[in-house]
């Protein structure tokens, strides 16, 4: 294969071509008029040498840009522009090698390869060259090349010494001078081959000048780097000398400086730390040794000391003498602790205990997904996590990640940065004594301000598949988080970052009803407050009625966060009143509440006193618990439109449309004239219009008010309803049954109507509520009408209503006929006049 030149080659017209033996070379290009020695050891090259050993047999030396380990018989690429040479001297080398000297004669252009065995042969034609430069710039060009060569010789340490002789000798032609400089200048083989292929003398000298300038710049840069390296080495030698001298002075004085004292103190701590892994111990010892030779005022001194103290203070392994190192876990004790310290849903507690039991039975090998508590503020998520830590006899760590916006706050900063610190998890672990705490992470919804990279970094810490070798950028060595139990806490499932959502096990933490809040206050809130303010139960009499009044009139939440704050304010108010000696004993009643907080802040919805047409009592589940929701409806003359108001969401609007369509389909059963849906508009309104409302659970209440208005039948006022309605009239299950039933009980509503499939959700209700409330379970809207619409029985009521409708139609038809006759009579009378 011949590698063609990019330049146009002027061939001698008198030369018709000749076949030559070809010797491929990788380095050390031969130029016309120059001599070069080659070490020949390849069998094909040795065979070529035997044929051309006499000086009368010329050969071609061609540059071959191929790897050096080519085997005999392989296809070797050859450059088109090569040199005809002859053998001038042959010496025996080591082994079977030959040391051969060749002399370059002329440039040739390879035309083709004729054979490859026993060596390469090819046809070539001589190239015609111009002997000298043309024009007045010849002397200037030659002077510039000579000047560049002298500078290269002056600054270069590894320049061929023959280059000095070349620029001093006289040459027959300018081309011979350029070839001689190229042959001995410090250029690489590719650059030399490019100059060999440049036949035009002006272009060859321009290229040669550019290459010499580049080489000169490289030599200058190398010299600068060398000087800097020497200066750095000299500075290091001087520093070592001064350090040795300082060490000798310290020995002579018999004392130690602060740096050495700090280094020795850290080394003693490293020796006493039994939980350090070997690689961490060696790294800490090496960095502590550096402190002895660093000035105490240097920035690096503070960074190194912080780094060593961080390594020492981390709980790499559990201490062998700790209480939790080998103590077996007692499931009965764990269960008792969780049930005692956390007042909440037994279903939630059982799920936690099942998770812990499975982990114990598998020996800790099955970690499972990350636990995530979902519930409103104040519902006891952190309290439950603390109870789990207490039951497992582990340390508890509570962390808020709401302010973390950058990945470095989790994975730490590189030690090379100014003011570098480890990530938040490594910092918090420094305060603990064991590597297996219960870590509760809250405010997850505000993590990273939507940046997924921050959530991914957090996943490296929490996910048991990744956290056994978590690398903080500050400490630079893996830390094992796999023994820690991570628990997350969020308010709503939609707020969980997407990258974490599929790695968690969500556990819903329901809100508290009034009775539960009263029990929590008596067991967990009031005793610490009495102790905090130095009061006794005789100083402050707190009754259940007073607590209920506080909850209803001054709080609106599903948790106990605001409730606990108000209790604290009451105790502060009582302490201040006792200090002023106004009263010695207090009772939690309306007088004390109004004295502390003023008039009631919240006025709850109340059920209607008597049955009304188009007014139903619905039940809603909001972020602050269960509430009554009065739904109003009326009809008016119009075109059959349906209007809904009250800041409703898309789901609730669709629920109203579905209820309206179902009532229209059951018009005959309800005794409603079909024309009424064309002649009357219906307006459905949800009071408290400033509060956004959404969800399907008001479906049966809407069906009830529309049927009541259109059939003109009142709705029971002693019943609250909740449930979703399908287009087929089926009543579908809804959520928040516990909170909704509690709201009905709070308003003294004796009957609650709900979907039949929600009957299983009544197990978590207190017995006091289930005893005083009667539940009506329905599976269809027709059943609802029988229970909620007064004086309604499908059989008799339908016949009666249908008969009344037919009479009304006949009356309207007769009235229309009489009206037409009267109009006709008037027209006849006018014509007669």
Q: CA 564 to CA 181: how far, in whole Å?
A: 94
Q: CA 794 to CA 381: how far, in whole Å?
A: 50
- DSSP per position, 293-358: TS-TTSHHHHHHHHHHHHHHHS--S--TTSTTSSPPP-HHHHHHHHHHH--S-HHHHHHHHHHHHH
Active-site residue flag, 740: yes
> In this structure, are residues 604 and 746 in contact, taking their beta carbons and an 8 Å threshold?
yes
Token duo for residue 132: 């000298």
The region, left, alpha or beta by phi > 0 then psi within -120 to 50, assigned to residue 385 is: alpha
> In this structure, are residues 651 and 695 in contact, taking their beta carbons and an 8 Å threshold?
yes
Terminal CA-CA length for the chain: 124
374 φ, ψ (degrees, to nearest 5): -120, 120
Q: Which of 666, 738, 740, 801 is catalytic?
A: 740
Q: CA 387 to CA 833: how far, in whole Å?
A: 101
CA distances (Å), 108 to each of 29, 224, 630, in order? 14, 42, 106
Q: CA 304 to CA 309: how far, in whole Å?
A: 9
194 φ, ψ (degrees, to nearest 5): -65, -40
Q: CA 749 to CA 51: how far, in whole Å?
A: 120
Q: CA 105 to CA 32: how far, in whole Å?
A: 5
Cβ partners under 8 Å of residue 753, min gap 6: 700, 719, 720, 721, 722, 723, 775, 776, 777, 778, 784, 787, 788
* Cis-peptide, bond into residue 118, ω within 30° of zero: yes
> In this structure, are residues 585 and 535 in contact, taking their beta carbons and an 8 Å threshold?
no
- Chain centroid to CA 325: 34
Active-site residue flag, 697: yes
Of 449, 426, 322, 340, which Cα lies nearest the Cα of 388? 340
> In this structure, are residues 636 and 675 in contact, taking their beta carbons and an 8 Å threshold?
no
Q: What is the DSSP letter of 449?
A: G
Query: Strand 2-3 vs strand 78-79: parallel, antiparallel, or unpaired?
Result: parallel
Q: Which of 697, 703, 708, 801 is catalytic?
A: 697
Sign of the CA dihedral with 133 first, then 138, 142, and 144 last: negative
**Catalytic residue positions?**
697, 740
């Amino acid at each position: 294969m011949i590698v063609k030149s990019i330049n146009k080659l002027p061939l001698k017209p008198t030369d018709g071509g000749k076949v030559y033996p070809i010797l491929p070379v990788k380095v050390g290009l031969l130029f016309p008029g120059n001599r070069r020695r080659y070490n020949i050891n390849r069998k094909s090259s040795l065979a070529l040498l035997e044929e051309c050993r006499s000086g009368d047999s010329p050969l071609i030396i061609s540059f071959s840009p191929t790897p050096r380990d080519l085997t005999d018989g392989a296809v070797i690429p050859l450059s088109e522009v090569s040199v005809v040479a002859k053998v001038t001297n042959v010496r025996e080398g080591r082994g079977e090698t030959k040391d051969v000297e060749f002399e370059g004669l002329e440039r040739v252009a390879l035309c083709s390869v004729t054979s490859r065995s026993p060596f390469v042969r090819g046809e070539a034609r001589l190239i015609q060259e111009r002997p000298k430069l043309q024009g007045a710039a010849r002397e200037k060009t030659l002077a510039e090349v000579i000047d560049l060569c002298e500078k290269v010789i002056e600054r270069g340490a590894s320049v061929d010494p023959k280059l000095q002789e070349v620029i001093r000798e006289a040459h027959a032609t300018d081309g011979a001078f350029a070839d001689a400089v190229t042959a001995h200048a410090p250029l690489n083989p590719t650059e030399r081959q490019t100059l060999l292929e440049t036949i035009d003398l002006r272009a060859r000298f321009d290229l040669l000048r550019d290459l010499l300038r580049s080489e000169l710049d490289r030599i200058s840069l190398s010299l600068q780097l060398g000087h800097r390296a020497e200066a750095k080495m000299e500075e290091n030698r001087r520093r070592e000398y001064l350090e040795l001298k300082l060490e000798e002075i310290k020995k002579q004085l018999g004392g130690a400086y602060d740096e050495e004292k700090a280094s020795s103190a850290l080394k003693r701590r490293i020796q006493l730390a039994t939980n350090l892994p070997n690689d961490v111990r060696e790294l800490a010892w090496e960095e502590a040794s550096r402190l002895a030779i660093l000035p105490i005022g240097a920035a690096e001194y503070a960074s190194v000391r912080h780094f060593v103290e961080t390594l020492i203070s981390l709980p790499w392994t559990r201490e062998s003498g700790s209480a939790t190192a080998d103590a077996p876990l007692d499931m009965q004790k764990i269960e008792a602790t969780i049930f005692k310290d956390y007042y909440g849903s037994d279903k939630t507690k059982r799920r936690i205990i099942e998770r812990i039991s499975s982990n114990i039975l598998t020996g800790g090998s099955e970690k499972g997904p990350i636990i995530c508590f979902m519930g409103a503020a104040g519902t006891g998520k952190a309290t439950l996590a603390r109870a789990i830590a207490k039951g497992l006899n582990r340390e508890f760590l509570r962390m808020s990640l709401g302010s973390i916006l950058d990945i470095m706050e989790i994975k730490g900063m590189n030690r090379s940065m100014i003011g570098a610190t480890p990530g938040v998890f490594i910092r918090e672990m420094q305060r603990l004594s064991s590597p297996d705490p219960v870590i509760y992470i809250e405010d997850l919804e505000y993590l990273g301000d939507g940046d997924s990279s921050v959530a991914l970094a957090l996943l490296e810490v929490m996910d048991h598949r990744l956290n056994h070798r978590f690398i903080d950028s500050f400490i630079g060595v893996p830390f094992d988080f796999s023994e820690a139990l991570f628990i997350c806490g969020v308010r709503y499932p939609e707020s969980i970052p997407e990258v974490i959502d599929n790695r968690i096990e969500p556990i819903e933490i329901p809100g508290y009803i009034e009775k539960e809040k009263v029990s929590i206050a008596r067991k967990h809130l009031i005793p610490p407050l009495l102790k905090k303010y130095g009061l006794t139960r005789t100083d402050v009499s707190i009754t259940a009625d007073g607590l209920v009044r506080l909850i209803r009139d001054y709080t609106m939440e599903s948790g106990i966060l605001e409730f606990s704050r108000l209790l604290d304010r009451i105790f502060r108010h009582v302490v201040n009143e006792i200090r002023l000696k106004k009263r010695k004993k207090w009772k939690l009643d309306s007088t004390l509440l109004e004295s502390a907080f003023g008039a009631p802040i919240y006025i709850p919805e109340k059920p209607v006193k008597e049955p009304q047409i188009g007014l139903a009592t619905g039940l809603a589940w909001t972020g602050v618990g269960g509430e009554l929701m009065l739904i109003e409806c009326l009809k008016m003359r119009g075109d059959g439109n349906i209007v809904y108001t009250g800041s409703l969401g898309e789901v609730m609007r669709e629920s109203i449309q579905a209820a309206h369509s179902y009532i229209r389909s059951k018009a005959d059963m309800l005794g409603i004239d079909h024309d009424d849906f064309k002649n009357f508009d219906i307006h459905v309104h949800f009071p408290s219009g400033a509060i956004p409302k959404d969800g399907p659970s008001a479906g049966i209440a809407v069906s009830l008010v529309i049927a009541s208005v259109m059939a003109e039948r009142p709705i029971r006022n002693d019943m609250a309803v909740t449930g979703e309605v399908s287009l087929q009239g089926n009543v579908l299950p809804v959520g928040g049954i516990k909170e909704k039933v509690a709201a009905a009980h709070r308003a003294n509503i004796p009957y609650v109507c709900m979907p039949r499939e929600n009957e299983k959700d009544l197990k978590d209700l207190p017995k006091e509520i289930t005893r005083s409330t009667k539940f009506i379970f329905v599976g269809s809207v027709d059943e609802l009408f029988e229970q909620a619409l007064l004086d309604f029985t499908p059989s008799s009521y339908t016949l009666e209503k249908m008969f009344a409708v037919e009479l009304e139609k006949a009356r309207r038809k007769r009235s229309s006929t009489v009206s037409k006759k009267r109009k006709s009579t008037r027209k006849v009378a006018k014509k007669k006049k």
